[in-house]
Structure 1
Amino acid sequence: MRLGVNYNKSLFFVSDRNEHLSQSIPTSIELAFFSKFSGNKDWHHDYHLPEWGITTGYYDYYSEILGRMYSLSFTFNQTLINSKKGKLTLPIQFGGVYSPSHFDIDSNPLNNAIGNTFSFLLGLAISYQYQIHPNWSLTSSLKLQHFSNGALGVPNDGINLFSPTFGINYHFKDYKVPQKANIPSRNQQKRKIYFGILGGTGLKEIRPFWDKKYMFFNLTTYLEYQIGKLSSLQLGLDAFYNLGEKADIERLWTTRALEEDIPDFKQIALLIGHELAVGKVGLVTQIGYYLYKPFENDDKFYQRVGLKYYWTKKRKIFSSLILKTHGFGASDALEWGIGYRF
């Protein structure tokens, strides 16, 4: 177990229309508690005895528009390279953010980045930890973080931070971790190819109807090819039925008095993806390309990142929480889903 403090100086990435938000260099301080997984499961050793952690963060943007933010997140910290004096790790971070200076049409109309009091945090880093004493270590990292509300409120352009990070850790005495030889091996799956189906839904707010939310529905079918004990590749189709998109198109045609027929709001896309198995959890990354999208209001490509949780031993029934974005940063929807893998 260890307790650490990290200090970050960040580069701010925003869209062209939000350049007024990136006039300062944000700083943050994080307090983190980490502990190793118990070592009593096969996958703990597959990931070289990873750590789990809880982190609280304080962010100061030195801006009256963005103000300060406070975060609470969970981190899965995988060891990539281990040596006597140090180790290289890959921390993956999920959590929530409290933003007192969020968008308000009267008091803070220039904050196009964060539209709600509470939003989501996703983070990925590459980190090196160097042991300077049996109880003390130093940490340096390069971290990428994304903050947004998943289109639950508008505006929702989001914030992307790239941060060099420096920290110090105090290590408590660890328990003795079981050796892999004493742990029953997981049965190897004979099947290499699976077929999956996933239904998703959620709520989305669109401009300019403040506080009005619309439901959307997604259906995903895919083939999954197992490329190892921990990884699989996916190829499939997405179908989108978004009532917010329908309302947005109808509003646009009405206000502009356009004479041509209203285009179809439904969408179909091709997706490719990767899933990393971490026990009963799957870490999902996908990229998609719209094959059918009559109303061109976003990029042709979209991205997804999120989690699956498998409820059965054979990894057949699962639920999911996935963030869909356009342009590698602008949140489009937060999708809640349930699926089955054949």
Structure 2
Amino acid sequence: MGRGLFATGRDTAYRKPVWLSARYAYGFILPHHKSMERFTRNHVSLYEVAVSFNSEFSDKINGFHFNSGTSYLYSSLSDTRILGDVHAVVPWIRQAYRINAFSFSFRLGLGLAWVTHPFDLETNFQNTAIGSHLNAAILINSGLNFKPDDRWVWSAGLNFIHFSNGSTKQPNYGINLPLIYAGISYNLVKQQGIRPAIKIDSVTGRFYIGLQAAGGIKQIFPVNGPDYFTMLAAPYAGYRFTHGFSGLLAFDISYSASDIDYLKSKGLIVTSKNDVIKTGLSLGFNQNYGPLGLSFRFGYYFHQLEDSDGPFYDVLSLSYRLLKGLDGRIMLKTHFARADFVGAGFSYTFDF
């Protein structure tokens, strides 16, 4: 932070920065499925407005700076006649490493999106990307930032944004946007007062174990088919590298009732529900900011009877601390940008 952050004034209370940001991004729709190629003829513009708050311990953890915020995203996508517009609200956590006035940052967010023209069998059957108005929105961002003073930040970098309904309604190939962006941020709070001394508990170097579990519903083709129960349970172990940031290793156990009907449609015999249980091992990270947390894991199936999605998967989840050790959690499981399911559940952590 600049010297304005430490301005003196015996009777003046310190005020935390509040940042208002505007970003413009430009890119295209990734044709991850053959039916998505029709939407790649035009490029895509995306607009973002964000409000964010600095962490109290920003400059105290190994040179890293943390903050969290919420973004509003808007894009007309590449073909408004078919795909319509998308509006999204995405909470996110950002971590940056700063050297003088420059910093490199990574931002990860999970929120909700509204698509104006989803698939409709009678009025919009050409939209094979999204089958519902309400969708999940994933934001992944990396950027280079320049902060000349305490009021302004200039930034540029790369975005990857994913919209899908987690297969709760077909069709659901999802929309994936690789983008380049440029933006500006302004601190709404004039810095004054003396920043109080910050006491941080020493939690680095600690191992912990826990359990995540989430359940939901999904559909498979044909369109307007039945709803199937699906779930994921994951015992995990973690190690805290910094305050709030830890590595994760998880043993994933997933089940979807839709796999039974899918295998039967291919002429395969399923004798028990246990036949379609998938198991895998995943590695990732968890980042906490106060009660809010985001985690990402990338995994490999070592047992699956229904293998049409391939051997790799990833799990992104947003959590909120309810009680000590207990978090509420929203979880999205995908196979390389193809959504498997979205569900709600919990996680419980035991510290050593």
With the shorter chain as reference, the TM-score category is 0.7 to 0.9
Residue pairs, 1:1-342, within 5 angstroms: 1-17=18-34, 18-37=36-55, 39=56, 42=57, 45-46=60-61, 48-63=64-79, 64-84=81-101, 86-131=102-147, 135-176=151-192, 179=195, 182-188=197-203, 192-210=206-224, 212-250=226-264, 252-253=265-266, 258=267, 261-262=269-270, 264-313=275-324, 316-326=325-335, 328-342=336-350
Amino acid in the other structure paired with 1:173: V
Partners of 1:287 and 1:118 in 2: CA distance: 25
Distance (whole Å) between structure 1 residues aligned to residue 72 and residue 24 of structure 2: 12
Gaps of 5+ in 1: none
DSSP-derived class of the 1:125 partner: strand
2:314–2:334 CA contact under 8 A, matched in 1: yes
Which has the higher mean CA deviation after the structures are superposed, 65-74 or 328-337? 65-74
Residue 33 of structure 1: how far off its partner (Å): 2.8
For residues 206-258 of structure 1, what are the alpha-carbon distances to aligned partners after superposition, in whole Å with 9 as ceiling and x for unaligned? 111516321123322233344444443333422222112223333x15xxxx3
Q: Is the 8 A contact 2:90 2:139 kept in 1?
A: no
The alpha carbon displacement at 1:35 in A equals 3.4
Q: Distance in 2 between matches of 1:270 and 1:134?
A: 44
CA contact (8 A) 1:202 1:216 kept: yes
Q: Which deviates further from its counterpart, 276-285 or 237-246?
A: 276-285
Kept after mapping to 2: 8 A contact 1:309/1:320: yes
Q: Could you tell me which runs of 5 or more consecutive residues in structure 2 were left unpaired when the two chains were aligned.
A: 1-17
The offset of 1:136, in angstroms, is 4.7
Q: Deviations over 1:43-68 (max 9, x none)?
A: 78438553333322221224122232
Matched residue SS, 2:276: coil
Residues 57-116 of structure 1, C-alpha deviation per residue, up to 9 Å, x if partnerless?
2212241222322222223333321424x4433232332221112111222222222111
Offset of residue 26 of structure 1: 0.7
Give me the whole-angstrom Cα distance separating, in 1, the residues matched to 2:98 and 2:282.
32
Q: For the structure 1 residues 71 and 230, does the alpha-carbon distance in structure 2 shift closer, same or farther, using more than 3 Å as the test?
A: closer
Identity of aligned residues (%): 22
Q: SS of 1:103's equivalent?
A: coil
Distance 2:235 2:74 in 1: 40
User: Partner amino acid for 2:82?
Assistant: I
After superposition, give the CA deviation of every residue in 1:256-284 in whole Å (9 maximum; x if it has no partner). Answer: xx3x5337322222233322333333321
SS at match of 2:29: strand
Q: Is the 8 A contact 1:43 1:278 kept in 2?
A: no
CA RMSD of aligned residues (A): 2.8
- Given that 2:209 and 2:349 are in contact with CA atoms closer than 8 Å, whether structure 1 keeps it comes out as yes
Dislocated runs of 4+, deviation >6 Å: none
In 2, distance between residues paired with 1:283 and 1:34? 16
Shift of 1:19: 0.9
Instruction: Deviation per CA, 1:167-218: give whole Å up to 9, x if none.
Output: 33443333448647x122214478x433322332111111115163211233
Query: 1:298 Cα shift?
Result: 1.5
Q: Which amino acid is the alignment partner of residue 22 of structure 1?
A: T
Distance 2:218 2:315 in 1: 16
Paired residue type of 2:200: S
CA distance in structure 2 between the partners assigned to 1:144 and 1:193 by the alignment:
32
Please report the TM-score for the alignment, with normalisation by the length of structure 2. Answer: 0.82
For 2:14, the equivalent position in structure 1 comes to none
Q: What is the CA–CA distance in structure 1 between the aligned matches of 2:227 and 2:76, rounded to whole Å? A: 30
